[in-house]
């Protein structure tokens, strides 16, 4: 019986359970097992299957109590943060689409202007057979196109950053890792 | 491929779902330490021999704030950790009992019919 408690102590030490907590659990266990023995009750009746695997038993108990460093249970996120993530994803998506539309619109405007310039520049296209010369886009047209491109690029970049941020924030939920000694599906120690 | 659980395994699985509720229920009778709760369960025919231990479950209930704890001298023995229901634990117990009763009635209505046909 004492050997079982010692095995548990070793496991708790190995897991980094604080000495005070490990001492308290060991004392409770020892007192319970001693009382059971005095009443002629088998340790198995007190510890169940845990009696046959002290290390798993100790790890499960410590894990369930949340006293294993670095094995804290992932906290449930508040509802508002989920909605915030959904909102961030939606806004990012819309901003990305807006950016793409701005880029497409700027390019269309440029193409339209260049086409007009070509027709006007044709030596046979002048209304009076007069060579008009290349009809270059005006500086104002250039600045409009550039503004479209810059704003579009900025929007696309911001939208993509927003989508990436959403994925990064969402990842801990999707890749919640299974912890040793704990059954997430039912929230109970795995050997129970 | 689906496999039927062997009887022993089924008992374990059923117990997994309700043992925490049973612990809260025996605590409702009064504060108790670990082994004392095992005895209360056994007195009602719920032996954990061949099953898991209640200690990790008590740890989880404590961490979740469903039980309050205090150390006190037991009957002539060493100081023990006494567990009692917290306010949150009482609510969880009430909710759990409702869930259990609803589930039991539904399962009974399915299995009871088969039993009548077989019998």
Identify which has the larger pLDDT, A177 or A48: A48
Given this model, what pLDDT does residue A186 score?
A: 42
Q: Tens digit of pLDDT per residue, chain B (119 long)?
A: 555 666 667 887 888 889 999 999 999 999 999 999 999 999 998 887 666 789 999 999 999 999 999 998 877 778 899 999 999 999 999 999 999 999 999 999 998 877 666 65
pLDDT digits (tens, 9 = 90+) for A87-96: 888 999 999 9
Q: Taking 90 as the threshold, does the pLDDT of residue A12 lie above it? A: yes
Cβ contact, residue pair B80, A44, below 8 Å: no
**Going by C-beta distance under 8 Å and a sequence separation of 6 or more, which residues neighbour residue A18?**
A67
pLDDT digits (tens, 9 = 90+) for A56-79: 999 999 999 999 886 655 555 666
Q: Is residue B7 part of a domain?
A: no
Compute the nearest-CA separation of A182 from chain B (Å): 10
In three-state secondary structure terms, A64 is helix
Give the number of domains in chain B.
Answer: 1
CA distance A102 to A75: 41
In three-state secondary structure terms, A169 is helix
Identify which has the larger pLDDT, A11 or B118: A11
Of A35, A47, A64, the CB nearest to B57: A64
pLDDT band at A179 (very low <50, low <70, confident <90, very high): very low
Phi, psi of B32 (to 5 degrees): -150, 155
CA B29 to chain centre: 13
Given this model, what pLDDT does residue B12 score?
A: 79
Q: Is residue B65 part of a domain?
A: yes
Given this model, what pLDDT does residue A134 score?
A: 52
- What percentage of chain A exceeds 70 in pLDDT? 64
Q: Is residue B63 part of a domain?
A: yes
Q: Tell me, yes or no, if A19 comes closer than 8 A to chain B by beta carbon.
A: no
Contact residues, chain A, for B53 at CB < 8 Å? 46-51, 57, 61, 192
What angle (nearest 5°) sits at the alpha carbon of residue B19, between those of residues B38 and B49?
A: 50
In three-state secondary structure terms, B118 is helix
CA distance B31 to A17: 26
Count, residues in chain A: 192
Inter-helix orientation angle B55-63/B7-27, to 10° = 50
Contact residues, chain B, for A192 at CB < 8 Å? 16, 19, 51-53, 56-57
Q: Is residue B67 part of a domain?
A: yes
What angle (nearest 5°) sits at the alpha carbon of residue B14, between those of residues A39 and A4?
A: 40
Beta partners for B84? B68
Phi, psi of B69 (to 5 degrees): -130, 150
Q: Is residue B16 part of a domain?
A: no
CA A173 to chain centre: 6
Phi, psi of B60 (to 5 degrees): -70, -40
Given this model, what pLDDT does residue A73 score?
A: 52
Interface of B with A (CB under 8 A): 16-17, 19-20, 33-35, 38, 42, 47-57, 59-60, 62-63, 74, 77-81
Query: Where in the sequence is the domain holding B68, given as residue range(s)?
Result: 21-118
Given this model, what pLDDT does residue B74 score?
A: 72
Q: Is residue B10 part of a domain?
A: no
Beta partners for B71? B81
Mean pLDDT of A43-57: 86
Given this model, what pLDDT does residue A112 score?
A: 53
Query: What is the full DSSP assignment across B74-108?
Result: -SSS-EEEEEEE-HHHHHHHHHHHHHHHHHHHHHH
Identify which has the larger pLDDT, A38 or A74: A38
Nearest CA in chain B to A182: B56
pLDDT digits (tens, 9 = 90+) for A107-166: 665 555 555 544 444 444 445 545 555 555 555 555 777 788 888 889 999 999 998 988
**Going by C-beta distance under 8 Å and a sequence separation of 6 or more, which residues neighbour residue B45?**
none
CA distance B44 to B32: 16
The kind and range of the H/E element at B73 are: strand B67-73
Cβ contact, residue pair A188, B60, below 8 Å: yes
Given this model, what pLDDT does residue B79 score?
A: 87
CATH number at residue B100: 1.10.10.10
Q: Residue A3: how many CB atoms within 10 A of its CB?
A: 8
Compute the nearest-CA separation of A72 from chain B (Å): 11
């Amino acid at each position: 019986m004492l050997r079982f408690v010692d095995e548990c102590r070793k496991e708790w030490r190995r897991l980094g359970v604080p000495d005070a907590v490990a001492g308290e659990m060991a004392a409770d266990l020892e007192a319970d097992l001693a009382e059971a023995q005095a009443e002629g009750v088998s340790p198995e009746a007190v510890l169940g299957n845990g009696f046959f695997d002290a290390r798993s038993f100790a790890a499960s108990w410590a894990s369930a109590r949340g006293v294993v460093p670095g094995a804290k249970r992932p906290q449930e996120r508040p509802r508002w943060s989920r909605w915030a993530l959904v909102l961030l994803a939606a806004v990012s998506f819309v901003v990305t689409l807006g950016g793409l539309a701005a880029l497409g619109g700027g390019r269309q405007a440029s193409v339209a202007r260049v086409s007009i310039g070509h027709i006007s520049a044709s030596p046979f296209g002048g209304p009076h057979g007069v060579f008009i010369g290349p009809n270059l886009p005006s500086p104002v047209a250039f600045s409009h196109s550039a503004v479209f491109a810059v704003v579009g690029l900025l929007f696309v970049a911001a939208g993509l950053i927003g989508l990436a941020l959403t994925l990064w924030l969402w990842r801990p939920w999707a890749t919640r890792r299974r912890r040793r000694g704990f059954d997430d599906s039912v929230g109970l120690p795995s050997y129970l | 491929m689906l496999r039927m659980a062997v009887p022993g395994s089924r008992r374990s699985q059923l117990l997994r779902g309700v043992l925490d509720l049973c612990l809260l229920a025996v605590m409702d009778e009064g504060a108790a330490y670990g082994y004392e709760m095992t005895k209360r369960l056994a007195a009602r025919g719920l032996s954990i021999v061949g099953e898991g231990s209640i200690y990790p479950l008590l740890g989880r209930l404590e961490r979740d704030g469903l039980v309050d704890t205090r150390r006190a001298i037991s009957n002539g023995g060493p100081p023990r950790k006494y567990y009692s229901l917290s306010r949150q634990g009482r609510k969880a117990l009430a909710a759990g009992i409702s869930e259990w009763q609803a589930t039991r009635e539904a399962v009974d209505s399915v299995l009871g019919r088969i039993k009548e046909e077989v019998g």
